Amino acid sequence: MKILVTSHTGIGGIARTTKQMREQILSNHKNDELVVINENREDKSEFRRRYRNTSVYSVPTPKGLHNFTSFTKFKRHYKPVVDKMAEIIKAESPDIILIIGTFYFPWFLLSAARKAKAPFIIRYGGIIEMEETKKIWLRMGRDFVNPKYSYVFPSTHSKETVEGIHQVKLPHSWVIHNGLPDEFFIKKKKITKKGKFKIGYVGRHYGVKNPEFCLALADKLRLSNNSEIEMVSNYTGTCSKDGKKASRAVKRFLKAGIKLTPSMSTNKLAKFYQSKDLIISPSHFETYGYVPLEAIATGTPALINKTLGIREVFTKLGLDEYIVDFKDVDNIVEKIDYIRQKQVIINGDVSRKLKKNYSFSSTMLQFFDTFKQVLNKSN
């Protein structure tokens, strides 16, 4: 089987899904091939490279994306990008295309797949209507919704949200929870340490991720002075204590006594989780939410907002007590006090269940089974 996917240079969920698919093919599906159309956000170079049974087409991030207000003009302007992707599809002749995500770059591939009349599955990541407000992006979101299309959703929550927004049923859908890489299954046992209670937050500086909650929490915890908050994010500007080179957002967090740390590799992130006493995920909405699952895999408890798709996995793991309403800051403080006093650690049984059911290899097998079902349906 030859699979074509979208990806990008980065460490987000889209890039991670492509990476795990590559690893799965190399280890368990050596007769299969992978073609990656990669959005190059870094050096902006354009190239095609071959790595064993994987071909990578590097496509620079198109310029001026956010300058458009008319979707018609947007489509006309970026028709060459769609045509280029259609040419790649015709040249590679993939058996199936996995469109990961629902923003502009996946939309280019969706348009190209339709033009080339190639079978495809839409793998919902974020939901545009829950994360964006510009009319052009909301209009783009409608193109991803069609009862005739095939879908993979990371949670039932995300599937029902899309169906509710567009008042439609999507009968050709599968729910496959996101998997975790082995780096998060740390063999070294987690040990609680004395000193300040360490709270961690991991997420982009983006409204839907609700980083502002950390300010409200820091304010509540200031009087007791026995906790500290560290945020791993993509803040622009130098995260220096004097704040002279920092952006306005950075200055606000620094002033509140919150430590800011830039994004990091998977290995370092796993160590970050294990070094904390608690991870918080206050996002207003997530189709899934990798962060809390990664945290509990390392043994660190995580409080998640009830608006996250990952709550389905927490329920399956018997962790309902960690699903909370982040609108009530006082309630979160009470939860934190309980976890601190009891020195709560997620036991090894939970991590073992995660590794068995939600490791990359397990979830990727589900993807390959879904590909076969979609192809059998279309033949």
308 bridge partner residues: 286
CB 178 within 8 A of CB 363: yes
What does the pLDDT read at residue 264? 87
3-class secondary-structure state, position 23: helix
141 pLDDT exceeds 80?
yes
Cα gap 26→14, rounded to integer Å: 19
| pLDDT at position 195 over 50 | yes
According to the model, what pLDDT value does residue 236 have? 59
**Residue 322 has what DSSP assignment?**
G
The rounded distance, in Å, linking the Cα atoms of 185 and 282 is: 23
pLDDT at 379: 64
Instruction: Give tens-digit pLDDT for 2-39.
Output: 999 988 766 566 777 777 777 777 776 678 888 999 88
pLDDT 10s digits, 212-235: 999 999 999 988 778 999 999 877
**pLDDT over 90 percentage in the chain:** 56
Q: What does the pLDDT look like over 38-95, one tens digit per residue?
A: 888 777 778 888 888 888 898 888 889 999 999 999 999 999 999 999 999 999 999 9
Identity at 276, one-letter amino acid code:
K
pLDDT tens-digit readout, 306-332: 999 999 999 999 999 999 999 999 999
Average pLDDT, the chain: 88
196-212: pLDDT as tens digits: 999 999 988 888 899 99
Contact yes or no for 319/296 (Cβ under 8 A): yes
* Mean pLDDT for the stretch of residues 139-158: 95
* DSSP letter assigned to residue 302: E
Residues 330-349 have pLDDT tens digits of 999 999 999 999 999 998 88
Q: For residues 109 and 222, which has the higher predicted lDDT (pLDDT)?
A: 109
- Secondary structure (DSSP) of 230-259: EEEE---B---TT-TTB-HHHHHHHHTT-E
Q: Are strands 54-60 and 47-51 parallel, antiparallel or unpaired?
A: antiparallel
